[in-house]
Structures are given as structure tokens and as C-alpha cells.
Amino acid sequence: MNKLDALNEMKRQIGYSEMEQVLSYYNIRVIRKKMLCPFPGHNDRHLGNCTLTDRGYVYCFACGRKASAIDMVMMNENLEFVPALEFLWTTILGRTLPEYDKPEKRKYPVLSVKDLSFIGLNSPSIKYVRFYINLSEDKDEDLPKDCYMDRDGLDNFGIYKKERSNSFFDLIENDPKTAKGIATAKCKDTEKYYLGILKDLDDVSTEYGKTAAFDAGFKKDSKEYCLSQIEKCKFIMKKINKIHY
């Protein structure tokens, strides 16, 4: 099949239910077609502004931005259009790519947002983070530039500052050596954590071991869980090892 036709056909088949799957993949909860705004920079606190439309778009009335399922993947995975479509199709929707000329060879492996948050690198593609500065009791207090108040508090009002932070994906692109080092260390730490619990389960001098000694079901479930998490680490480590510089 001609690649352009194939891509267009895939795109045509991405609608409302596909967007629902994308949102659930990124742990964005939709309640009666409403969600907290997922766009970076908009710290949405109230359901109501951001809507899932019948045609499968996310539209935020407050910040005016709109995204298709493919846009959501481009934004979250830091991918160009075609790799984002392929990622959405295979990893999120679990479908098989139609036969067309081989996808362009990628420079870097697709470490997904889920992979990175699993090893403790959270929000790798969010460009703005909010820093807590102070509390105030006076909702009309004059604030320094760049600061804003979160008026949702009960007695006190939180004062925050919004700052741009470079994303981990930027780092992979601009300084792959450092990015690989950080990701490797985080991945090894995560693996070590689950290996530790696994060991504790057999050691009655530890909390887990004590519980496990009396509860065979707990021991079996916990072991299986730890082993599956360790497998995940190995899988992510394989991707990290493909970062070359």
C-alpha cells in the first residue's frame, strides 16, 4: 500500500473511542465528557472547561487549545506526526501497522511517558512546572511578577510560581549521554527496589517477610507482582541501551 494512503486510512479510523483510549493511557480521567485540561501550562483545577467532543477532540474553552488523539500523542511522547501515529496505532490501540514502506529509522528509541514515569522520571514532556512559594491569608495580597495565587484553598491561599523546565525528551535529543546516565540510574534503582522487596519476602526479620510467613497468598501475589515489575525494568533498560551518542 502507498504510505500516504495507509496513513490517511489510519487517521480516518481514529475517532471518539480511540481518543478515549489515549486519555486512559495517559491516566486522564473523563467524567461525563469533561476532564481537567491536559495541555501544558494550564493548571486546571475545575471540571467544566475542557471537553471531549463527539468527533474525538479535546477542546479547552479556557485556554483555547484543541487536540486530536494524534496531537495528544505528539505532545506526550515528543514525536513527529508519523511516528506519533504509529505509536498510537501499535502501543496504545494495539493494532498492527498496515504494510507500507518501512517506517523511517528513528534516531532514538521511543521511551514512552509511561516508561519514564515508571522509573520515576515524571512529566517528561511537560514544559511548565509550578513551584510552591508560600501561603497567604489575604486573597488580595500583591504578588511579585510571575507569581499567582491558588484561590481554592480553605483558610490559606497557596502562592505559586510557574517556571519553564526543560523536558527529559529535550535532554535525550540535546545531551543523550547525560539523559542515558540519568535514565539508567533511575531504571536500576527501580529494579533494585523490587529486588529488595523480593528478598524481604523470604526474610522473616523484615515487615514483608513477617506478613509473608503467615500469609501464603500475600507472598505469592507479592512475588508475582515484583517479578513483573522487574521484567518491566528490563524491558525499559533495553530501550535505554539503544540511546547512542
Binding site for Zn ion (CB under 5 A): 37, 39, 42, 60, 62-63
What does 152-186 look like in DSSP terms, one character per residue?
T-SSSEEEEEEEE---HHHHHHH-HHHHHHHHHHH
| Residue (of 102, 105, 23) closest to 58 by Cα position | 23
Residue 67 or residue 88: which is nearer to Zn ion going by CB? Answer: 67
The amino acid present at 207, given as its one-letter code, is E
| H helices present in the chain, as ranges | 3-12, 16-25, 69-77, 81-87, 113-118, 168-174, 176-200, 207-214, 216-241
Residue 47 or residue 63: which is nearer to Zn ion going by CB? Answer: 63
Shortest distance, CB of residue 161 to Zn ion, whole angstroms?
19
Residue 43 or residue 206: which is nearer to Zn ion going by CB? Answer: 43
Residue 30 or residue 182: which is nearer to Zn ion going by CB? Answer: 30
Residue 30 or residue 195: which is nearer to Zn ion going by CB? Answer: 30
Residue 135, C-alpha cell as written in the block:
501561603
Shortest distance, CB of residue 4 to Zn ion, whole angstroms?
33
CA pair distance 191, 10, nearest whole angstrom:
37
CA pair distance 244, 91, nearest whole angstrom:
23
Residue whose cell numbers read 517479578? 227
Question: Judging by beta carbons within 10 Å of its beta carbon (0-12, 13-18, 19+), is residue 234 exposed, middle or buried?
Answer: exposed
Shortest distance, CB of residue 110 to Zn ion, whole angstroms?
26
Residue 42 or residue 219: which is nearer to Zn ion going by CB? Answer: 42
Shortest distance, CB of residue 29 to Zn ion, whole angstroms?
15
Shortest distance, CB of residue 57 to Zn ion, whole angstroms?
13
Shortest distance, CB of residue 108 to Zn ion, whole angstroms?
29
CA pair distance 89, 99, nearest whole angstrom:
13
Residue 11 or residue 127: which is nearer to Zn ion going by CB? Answer: 127
The gap from C-alpha 198 to its chain's centroid, in whole angstroms, comes to 27
Shortest distance, CB of residue 164 to Zn ion, whole angstroms?
17
